[in-house]
Amino acid sequence: EADAEDRSVGSTIVTRDGRALGSEDAADLRRCLATLLKGGEQAIPTRVELLELDGTPAVSVGLVTLDPQSGAFTRIEVWTLERATCQVLRFDQA
């Protein structure tokens, strides 16, 4: 039981306006972010949005990733994932 308490410390996700994200929304966000990053590529999450895309509940994640040519974190990616399955709905890269 102590282990579960230790894992929950600091696990609240807070919105820009200081409100705690609801547990269902936070679980969707964590699951989809873990799915997105499971490939092991180094990435810095810069923005996360819960939204609807064409009526489908989604999570949009902005990342800065390592540019293999320069070796610097300069590549910008925006992934939009379906919340229920974490399947990619849209991907943009700059």
Task: Name every residue whose Cβ is closer than 8 Å to that of residue 42 and which is 6 or more positions away in sequence.
Answer: 65, 66, 73
Host domain of residue 83: 2-93
Phi, psi of 12 (to 5 degrees): -70, 135
pLDDT at residue 4, as a whole number: 45
Q: Looking at residue 16, what is its pLDDT?
A: 81
pLDDT, tens only, 37-93? 887 778 998 999 999 999 999 999 999 998 888 989 999 999 999 999 999 999 999
- The CATH number covering residue 65 comes to 3.10.450
Q: How many domains does the chain have?
A: 1
Q: 10 or 70: which carries more pLDDT confidence?
A: 70
CB neighbour list of residue 37: distance below 8 Å, 6 or more residues apart: 43
C-alpha distances in Å from residue 82, one per residue of 11, 18, 26, 29, 44 = 22, 25, 14, 10, 21
